[in-house]
């Protein structure tokens, strides 16, 4: 499995970083370089790729995943599991694993760091902003990278024909981009398997050309493996050498997507494909180009094509165009991964997500995001129409994300991995210095094109934070105890009203209440009692719990968990389902009914084929039933296990059968949020107003539920925030 994923990851992850040999030297030098400068630049490339990609990401940061998910936001979510730095969605608490170490289990310095970020609200906000900004930078990059790579590939055709017009290049680039996004619904695994041969051929060409040039021209460039030449290059060239780092930076563009795409391929697969193939291919490519330029200094302007061995120009041209086109896939895939993380942690509204693989949970496709990216990328291609300004924005995005990841992984090392603070500092200092050096030169590109990335990222980050702020206020409103009177609590009122109605002659059948949390009395049940002062004969609090598996077989015992509640004839049913299962379907009521019967009596007869069908009740012989103690009223019936009863089993089963035969109704809540002017200043009202507006226009519609619309009851209620 690892090698199959490693093969697929090659087709997605390394399309971006793998095409860097096309332009690194030409972006670094502005005139023919001296041999000393050439070796110095090569040394910087070797150590930048080694430090940034191999050591920092492949060997360290890839281990800082959150349950297999990658990216700076995943590291932030990992920190929230080990420290009190954020609020958690009450609906997902049952799926959230909080693993905070006790004070006695931590070293004093590590404990002090954790206490500091837990105590200082400014640190909590800063971490949240950094995590969201890192995501936003990659999302902004996902619009720029396809435009940059495809436009650069088509511009490369001018090597063959210099008369190709700009309008032709833009038109062809836009057409290829549209085709690329139209292919996304096929799924990551299909695209990765298709693109992998292209990237493998491309990297193999680079490795082969590098070996050829190294043996035929100047093998002395191998001394660039000494870090002395990297330092000497910067010391001799001073400001100019520092500015030229912007070109060297291009040698590791795409590394941010490597971590963000980990959820689709896994840590082990990426390590195998990088260390075993991509890394040596790229090093040999840069070394071979340097060997050729050493003898032909003018070749720096187009290092790849000028250094192609005789007879290989056209195969190399075709391979380079194809590789540049598929280079966009790395950022497109990471966009789907990161948006999925944002939705799962309530930083973005829930939109349609399609799981494209039966084997790997992280391989997803988000239609809305795909079409927005397509429009944005085509627009950027048409407006910028050249790769120079796009390149400035592109570099800035990459280094900001890697800089954020350095700080995040340092906190993970201290708080999660429990490493000694001195060891963390020894590793952190050279890496953060390396990042800071590149970041300082990338900042100078803001007026020359990087402003676009920064503006786009700030807009998206602001929206994510506003949405999260609104969700937290919503959770606060939902968590407040609803006072029916000054002396009557919510639980007491529900219990009182429910028992008051228990003796009434009601003919509502079975009512299935959709339950968001799975461990409380659903708000929709409370509102139903309040408005109608009636309830179904049998009530079911149904909670859906997603698992990271494609399917959960209906035959599996743990698919349904049935628990009797404190209310008469009321059950809680938790349904576990896979990410490719269709849970809400026309026969949902029959499945719930069947689970209830198995919980009451393991040998109960099979359910009818459809809701409302006639039922032949099986007769049971009970031997001397005794009254159950009050504590047993909350007994948990799981996987058909039944111990002790408080009413005769046959009567309970008869009640269930009768209610199901009458009808099954599905009761869902429609929560409306109302922003209180008196409790919020103008700024808060604007932010919450935006949140409410987006929420109302993105929430799932009742019509999308695949159950009979005539059986749906929607109960509306208002929460004040």
Taking alpha carbons only, the member of 416, 264, 409 closest to residue 340 is 264
Q: Average pLDDT in the 588-599 region?
A: 85
Cα(595)–Cα(561) distance, integer angstroms? 8
Question: Worst-scoring range by mean pLDDT, 224-233, 372-381, 457-466, 493-502?
Answer: 493-502
Q: Average pLDDT in the 448-467 region?
A: 87
Q: How confident is the model at residue 717 (pLDDT cuts 50, 70, 90)?
A: confident
pLDDT digits (tens, 9 = 90+) for 118-127: 888 899 999 9
Positive or negative CA dihedral for 304, 310, 314, 315? negative
Taking alpha carbons only, the member of 511, 544, 543 closest to residue 527 is 511
For the chain, report the end-to-end CA distance as a whole number of angstroms: 49
pLDDT digits (tens, 9 = 90+) for 248-268: 988 888 888 888 888 778 888
Let me know: does 427 contact 60? Beta carbons within 8 Å: yes
Strand partners for 577:
546
Give the per-residue pLDDT at 620. Answer: 38
Higher confidence at residue 649 or residue 571?
571
pLDDT digits (tens, 9 = 90+) for 353-408: 887 777 666 678 888 888 998 888 888 888 776 655 566 666 788 889 999 999 99
Strand order in the sheet with 560-564: 636-638, 560-564, 570-577, 538-546, 510-514, 664-674, 712-720
Let me know: does 143 contact 373? Beta carbons within 8 Å: yes
- Domain locations in the chain? 2-471, 481-616+629-720
pLDDT digits (tens, 9 = 90+) for 655-684: 888 888 888 888 888 888 888 877 777 888
Question: Worst-scoring range by mean pLDDT, 9-13, 289-293, 624-628?
Answer: 624-628
Across 259-280, b (16+ Cβ under 10 Å) vs e yields bbbbbbbbbebbbbbbeebbbe
Distances (CA, A) of 386 to 45, 139, 167, 379: 25, 21, 11, 13
Taking alpha carbons only, the member of 428, 427, 13 closest to residue 191 is 13
Positive or negative CA dihedral for 397, 400, 405, 406? positive
**Alpha carbon 22 to chain centroid distance?**
31
- Architecture label for domain 2-471: Up-down Bundle (1.20)
Question: Worst-scoring range by mean pLDDT, 31-40, 334-343, 370-379, 512-521?
Answer: 512-521
What does 150-206 look like in DSSP terms, one character per residue?
A: HHHHHHGGGGT-TT--HHHHHHHHHHHHHHHHHTGGG-HHHHHHHHHHHHHHHHHHH
Taking alpha carbons only, the member of 408, 381, 453, 411 closest to residue 141 is 453
Q: Mean of the per-residue pLDDT values for the chain?
A: 81
SS3 state at 366: coil
Positive or negative CA dihedral for 77, 83, 84, 89? positive
Taking alpha carbons only, the member of 265, 140, 290, 264 closest to residue 209 is 290
Give the per-residue pLDDT at 643. Answer: 41
Structure tokens of 463? 């929206």
pLDDT digits (tens, 9 = 90+) for 620-645: 333 333 333 333 334 444 433 344 44
pLDDT digits (tens, 9 = 90+) for 529-547: 888 777 888 899 988 887 7
Please report which helix (H) or strand (E) contains residue 365, including its range: strand 364-365
Q: Average pLDDT in the 54-58 region?
A: 94
Strands 570-577 and 636-638, bridge-based pairing? unpaired
Give the per-residue pLDDT at 59. Answer: 93
Give the per-residue pLDDT at 642. Answer: 40
């Amino acid at each position: 499995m690892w090698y199959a994923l490693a093969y697929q990851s090659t087709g997605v992850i390394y399309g971006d970083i793998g095409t860097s040999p096309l332009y690194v030297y030409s972006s670094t030098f502005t005139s023919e370089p001296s041999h000393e400068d050439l070796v110095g630049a090569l040394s910087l490339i070797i150590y930048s790729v080694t430090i940034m990609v191999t050591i920092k990401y492949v060997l360290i940061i890839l281990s800082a995943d959150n349950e297999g998910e990658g990216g700076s936001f995943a590291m932030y979510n990992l920190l929230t599991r080990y420290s009190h730095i954020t609020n958690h969605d009450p609906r997902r608490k049952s799926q959230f694993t909080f693993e905070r170490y006790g004070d006695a289990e931590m070293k004093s310095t590590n404990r002090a760091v954790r206490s500091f970020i837990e105590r200082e609200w400014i640190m909590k906000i800063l971490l949240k902003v950094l995590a969201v900004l890192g995501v936003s930078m990659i999302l902004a990059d996902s619009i720029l990278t396809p435009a940059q790579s495809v436009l650069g590939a088509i511009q490369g055709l001018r090597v063959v024909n210099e008369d190709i017009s700009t309008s032709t290049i833009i038109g062809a680039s836009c057409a290829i981009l549209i085709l690329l996004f139209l292919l996304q619904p096929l799924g990551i695994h299909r695209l990765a398997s298709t693109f992998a041969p292209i990237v493998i051929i491309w990297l193999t060409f680079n490795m082969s050309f590098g070996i050829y040039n190294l043996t035929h021209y100047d093998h002395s460039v191998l001394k660039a493996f000494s870090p002395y030449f990297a330092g000497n290059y910067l010391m001799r060239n001073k400001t100019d050498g520092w500015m030229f780092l912007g070109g060297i930076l291009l040698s590791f563009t795409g590394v941010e997507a490597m971590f963000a795409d980990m959820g689709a391929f896994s840590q082990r697969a990426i390590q195998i494909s990088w260390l075993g193939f991509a890394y040596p291919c790229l090093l040999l490519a840069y070394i071979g180009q340097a060997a050729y330029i050493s003898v032909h200094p003018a070749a720096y302007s187009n290092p790849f094509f000028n250094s192609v061995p005789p007879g290989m120009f056209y195969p190399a041209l075709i391979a380079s165009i194809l590789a540049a086109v598929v280079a966009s896939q790395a950022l497109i895939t990471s966009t789907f991964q990161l948006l999925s993380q944002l939705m799962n942690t309530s930083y973005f509204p829930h939109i349609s997500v399609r799981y494209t693989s039966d084997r790997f949970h992280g391989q997803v496709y988000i239609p809305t995001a795909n079409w927005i990216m397509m429009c944005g990328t085509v627009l950027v291609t048409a407006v910028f129409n050249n790769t120079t300004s796009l390149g400035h924005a592109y570099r800035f995005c990459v280094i900001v994300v890697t800089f954020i990841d350095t700080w995040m992984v340092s906190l993970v090392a201290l708080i999660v991995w429990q490493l000694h603070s001195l060891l963390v500092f020894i590793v952190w200092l050279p890496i953060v210095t390396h990042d800071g050096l590149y970041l300082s030169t990338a900042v100078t590109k803001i007026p020359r094109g990087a402003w676009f990335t920064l503006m786009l990222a700030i807009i998206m980050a602001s929206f994510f934070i506003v949405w999260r702020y609104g969700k937290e206020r919503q959770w606060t409103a939902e968590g407040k105890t609803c006072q029916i009177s000054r002396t009557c609590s919510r639980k007491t009122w529900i219990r009182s009203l429910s028992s008051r109605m228990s003796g009434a002659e009601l003919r509502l059948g079975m009512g299935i209440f959709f339950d968001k949390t799975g461990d409380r009395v659903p708000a929709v049940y409370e509102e139903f009692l309040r408005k109608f002062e009636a309830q179904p004969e049998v009530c079911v609090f149904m909670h859906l719990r997603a698992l990271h598996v494609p399917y959960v077989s209906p035959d599996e015992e743990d698919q349904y968990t049935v628990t009797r509640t404190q209310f008469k004839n009321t059950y809680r049913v938790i349904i576990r389902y896979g990410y490719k299962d269709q849970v809400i379907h026309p026969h949902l009521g029959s499945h719930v009914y069947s689970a209830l019967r198995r919980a009451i009596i393991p040998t109960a007869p099979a359910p009818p084929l459809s809701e409302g069908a006639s039922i032949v009740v099986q007769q049971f012989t009970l031997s001397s039933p005794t009254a159950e103690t009050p504590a047993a009223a909350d007994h948990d019936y799981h996987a058909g296990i039944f111990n002790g009863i408080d009413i005769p089993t046959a009567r309970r089963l008869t009640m269930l059968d009768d209610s199901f035969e009458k009808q099954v109704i599905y009761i869902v809540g429609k929560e409306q949020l109302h922003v209180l002017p008196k409790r919020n200043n103008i700024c808060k009202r604007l932010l919450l107003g935006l949140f409410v507006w987006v929420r109302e226009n993105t929430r799932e519609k009742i019509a999308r539920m695949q159950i009979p619309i005539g059986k749906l009851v929607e109960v509306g209620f208002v929460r004040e925030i």
